[in-house]
Every structure is written in structure tokens, then in C-alpha cells.
């Protein structure tokens, strides 16, 4: 289990890094939109490539940040009932839903997205819009987003099992498990539940 938790720590680190960096894509989309608007108003000229680039950047934010959102427990959920349940019960519900709903769905999407991307890449598919962009990078982002979500789903399942088995400390209700647990343990000087001392990383 310690080896699995160490792998989870690696997955969480990659997910967190990507999740924090994609925020710059929002800035890029804003800049592209602004420049496009200025050119269109000032020079009465524009291109579908500018519009499609905005879509690509905005879509990339959602796809690439989905795994980070799962890690931070920030996806929208209905807490009318679950908020009144014990934390251990909610952990069991999360574990069940990750295994029965999340992972099969993400696995199916990866299976469908691979040929979807590969065919587009091999044919160098272009946008049907005049002056539009090449399509396969956008389809690749969809595939990568689901692969990241799959990896993070595995990490969340392993951590939930470790928590329920008493191997890993139980984190707060909200926020990233790794971030919350390791931050609290660093302050208290306790062992890192992912394996090893917090200062050994």
C-alpha cells in the first residue's frame, strides 16, 4: 500500500502542476479575444482562426483542469443528503461512485477518443471554416484530459481505501487530500501518510 500511496503522490503532483498552469490559457484566450476584437474594429478584418483558437484555449482549460478539480474535491455535487452523513460514510460513497461511475465512464471516453484523435491526426484534418485551424490538437487535448482524469481517479480510489483502512490520515472534508494531509503533518511533525517523512521528499 505504501508503494501505491507513493504513486498517488506522484500522480497528485503532476495533476496539481498541470492544473495550476492551465490558468495561463485563460489569460491567453482573453488576449486573443481582445486582439481579435481590436483588429476587427480598427481594420475591419478578422479570421476564423482567431475564433477557433479561443475555443481551443477555453476547451483546453476545462479538459486539462478536470483531474485537478477532482483532486481538490471541487466538482459540483448535490450535498443535500451527503452533507448530513458521517465523513466515513461519505468516503464509502465516494469510493463506490469512483469505481462504479467515474472510472467506467472515463475508460470508455479514452477508448472512444483514441481513434477519434488518431484518424484526425493521420488525415491532418482541418476545420471546415474558411481560414480555420487544424483539428487534431484539439482532439488530442480531449484525450489527454481523460487520461489525466483516469490517473487521478485511480489516485483518489487508492487514497479512499487507505483512509477507510486506517492506513492514511483522514483529511478535511474539502480540498486536496494530499495537500491537506501533508500540510497538516508538516506543521505537526508527524509522518507523511503517503510514505516517509514530510521532509524526505
How large is the average pLDDT for residues 63-67?
94
Mean pLDDT of 90-110: 93
At residue 31, the pLDDT reads 93
Please name which of 60, 13, 22, 18 lies closest in space to residue 155, comparing C-alpha atoms: 13
Q: Are 159 and 98 in contact (CB under 8 A)?
A: no
The confidence score (pLDDT) of residue 150 equals 97
CA dist 173 and 181 (Å) reads 11
What confidence score (pLDDT) does residue 78 get?
Answer: 67
Pairwise pLDDT comparison (36 vs 63), residue with the higher score: 63
Q: Tell me the pLDDT tens digit for each residue of 13-61.
A: 999 999 999 999 999 999 998 988 888 888 877 778 888 899 899 999 9
CA–CA gap between residue 197 and residue 190 (Å, rounded): 8
| Exposure string over 98-123, b if 16+ CB within 10 A, otherwise e | beeebbeebeebbeebeebbeebeee
Confidence (pLDDT) at 51: 87
Please determine, for residue 195, whether its predicted confidence score (pLDDT) is greater than 60.
Answer: no
- For the chain, state the CA radius of gyration: 21
What's the confidence (pLDDT) of residue 135?
92
Which pLDDT score is estimated for 99? 94
Task: Identify the pLDDT of residue 76.
Answer: 72
Q: Which residues of 143-162 are buried (b: 16+ CB within 10 A; e: fewer)?
A: bbbbbbbbbbbbbbbbbbbb
Model confidence at 185: pLDDT above 50: no
Q: What is the mean pLDDT of residues 135-156?
A: 95
What is the percent of the chain with per-residue pLDDT over 70, rounded to a whole number?
83
Predicted TM-score of the model (pTM): 0.78
pLDDT at 98: 93
Is residue 170 classed exposed, middle or buried when 0-12, 13-18 and 19+ CB atoms within 10 A define those classes? Answer: middle
Examine the pLDDT at 183 and tell me if it is beyond 50.
no
Average pLDDT of the chain, as a whole number: 82
Amino acid at each position: 500500500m505504501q508503494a501505491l500511496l507513493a504513486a498517488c503522490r506522484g500522480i497528485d503532483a503532476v495533476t496539481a502542476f498541470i492544473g495550476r498552469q492551465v490558468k495561463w490559457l485563460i489569460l491567453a484566450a482573453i488576449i486573443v479575444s481582445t486582439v481579435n476584437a481590436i483588429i476587427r474594429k480598427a481594420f475591419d478584418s478578422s479570421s476564423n482562426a482567431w475564433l477557433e483558437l479561443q475555443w481551443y484555449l477555453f476547451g483546453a482549460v476545462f479538459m486539462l483542469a478536470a483531474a485537478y478539480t477532482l483532486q481538490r474535491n471541487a466538482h459540483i455535487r448535490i450535498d443535500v443528503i451527503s452533507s448530513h452523513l458521517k465523513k466515513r460514510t461519505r468516503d464509502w460513497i465516494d469510493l463506490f461512485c469512483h469505481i462504479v461511475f467515474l472510472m467506467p465512464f472515463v475508460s470508455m471516453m479514452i477508448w472512444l477518443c483514441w481513434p477519434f484523435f488518431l484518424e484526425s491526426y493521420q488525415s491532418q484534418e482541418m476545420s471546415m471554416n474558411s481560414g480555420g485551424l487544424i483539428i487534431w490538437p484539439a482532439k488530442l487535448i480531449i484525450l489527454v484530459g481523460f487520461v489525466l482524469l483516469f490517473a487521478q481517479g485511480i489516485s483518489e480510489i487508492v487514497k479512499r481505501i487507505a483512509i477507510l483502512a486506517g492506513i492514511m490520515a483522514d483529511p478535511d472534508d474539502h480540498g486536496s487530500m494530499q495537500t491537506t494531509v501533508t500540510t497538516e503533518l508538516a506543521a505537526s511533525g508527524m509522518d507523511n501518510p503517503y510514505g516517509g517523512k514530510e521532509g524526505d521528499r
